[in-house]
Amino acid sequence: MYIRPIYLDCHATTAVDERVLAAMLPYFTEKFGNPASISHVYGWEAEAAVKQTREILAAAINATPEEIVFTSGATEANNLAIKGVAEAYFKKGQHIITIATEHSAVIDPCNYLKSLGFEITILPVQKDGLIDLTELKNAFRAETILVSVMAANNEIGVLQPLAEIGEMCHEHQILFHTDAAQAIGKIPLDVQAMKIDLMSLTAHKVYGPKGIGALYVRRRNPRVQLAPQQHGGGHERGMRSGTLYTPQIVGFGKAVEIALAEQATETQRLTQLRQRLWKQLSQVEGIHLNGHPQQRLAGNLNISVEGVDGAALLLGLQPVMAVSSGSACSSATTAPSHVLTALGHSEKLAYASVRFGIGRFTTEEEIDIVAKHAIATIQSLQNKR
């Protein structure tokens, strides 16, 4: 009988929580109305459900419901934020700053804008993955219109100093965008205290459905202008046209609601599991921890292993565990992780890396099984050198 491997790839995606699924189901069959159809009860039901999720998401980040714009996910939200600001503010300036460890959903839109004549500064990070705030400040120019720095890195889990970045940006009247796809529901987020102007969110990293995300767009101090990237119907205050996917939106709201209610206890539990795994793996010669040891997501452990072939390492782990060596969105490429090379790793060491994404349904027993098999696999490969 085939036994499915232990799932430790929660930064790629998560299973939909049964409580989330239960909340979604009525909106596929019974309450199937279009939230834009405001002349009958079916539309009212859907509209009310969408409104409730706006309120949940807004409360989660200390925003107002009117500042939440629904998208198909964080990738679309990133594109809307970066391209939308570029188009709306290009007369003010054409310079954007980001960092080398960003997700491709930020780097690629920036490179696209570069092809149109915008200037893009991609700052390096320190060896622990954190941004150097002095370098950021020195990169500011009169024509800088946007800084985009992710909240929690999808590969190494590093948490960037959002409040400090936001303060610097607002002092210089530069808009601040953060990709918080990996952060929502896992760490405290406050767009007011952190002076964040645009924040990208998604549901499927926090036990919600795939295909739904949101962009927070600040309305006051300052009021952020965005050029829409999708036209037709004027939905979402004209920023993102298209019929809203009510079941997915309901699932998003429920997922965030659960994550916030359980955040404190789950953070403690995941931290203990991560430390349990690292305590066992760290005994093996040639293993490196990637990213800041404390300032990281509770469920993230990313390692690189000296003296082994990366492909052979993943192949050896596969029968027992589902893990990855980098971003799921880049897994089809043969290049080493740009995040790990940005930390100063050689291509060979970057290839020989494993990202463990520990999640809500991971148990201590599974961690011990994973550790035992990983150690045996690594030592076997090292002995073949």
Number of CB atoms found within 10 A of residue 295's CB: 15
Which of 256, 286, 307 marks a domain boundary?
Answer: 256
Residues 221, 286, single domain; the answer is: no
**CA dihedral sign, ordered 193, 196, 197, 198:** negative
At residue 385 the predicted structure's pLDDT band, cuts being 50, 70 and 90, is: low
Same domain for 289 and 247? no
The CATH number assigned to the domain holding 239 equals: 3.40.640.10
165-169 average pLDDT score: 98
Which range marks the domain in which residue 169 is found? 18-256
Kindly state whether residues 47 and 190 are assigned to the same domain: yes
Task: Identify whether residues 375 and 326 lie together within a single domain.
Answer: yes
- Mean pLDDT over 206-224 rounds to 98
In a domain, 1, yes or no: no
Nearest-angstrom CA–CA distance, 135 and 304? 27
Burial class of residue 5, CB neighbours in 10 A (0-12, 13-18, 19+): middle
User: Once rounded to an integer, what is the mean pLDDT over residues 255-276?
Assistant: 98
* 126 part of a folded domain: yes
**Whether residues 170 and 68 fall in one domain:** yes
Tell me which of 324 and 330 has the higher pLDDT.
Answer: 324
Number of domains comprising the chain = 2
pLDDT (tens digit per residue) in 95-117: 999 999 999 999 999 999 999 99
Q: Which of 182, 198, 188 is nearest to 68 (CA)?
A: 198
- Report yes or no: 216 and 61 within 8 Å, Cβ to Cβ: yes
Please tell me whether residues 227 and 291 are part of one structural domain: no
Question: SS3 string of 262-277?
Answer: HHHHHHHHHHHHHHHH
Are 79 and 67 contacting, i.e. CB atoms less than 8 angstroms apart? Answer: no
- Please give the single-letter amino acid code of residue 365: E
Which residues participate in catalysis according to the annotation? 329
162 domain residue, yes or no: yes
Q: Which residue has the higher pLDDT, 338 or 239?
A: 338
Q: What is the pTM of this model?
A: 0.95
pLDDT tens digits along 15-42 = 999 999 999 999 999 999 999 998 999 9
Is residue 229 located within the same domain as residue 353?
no
| Segment 191-213 mean pLDDT | 98
Task: Return the percent helix, strand and coil in the chain, to nearest 5.
Answer: 40, 15, 45
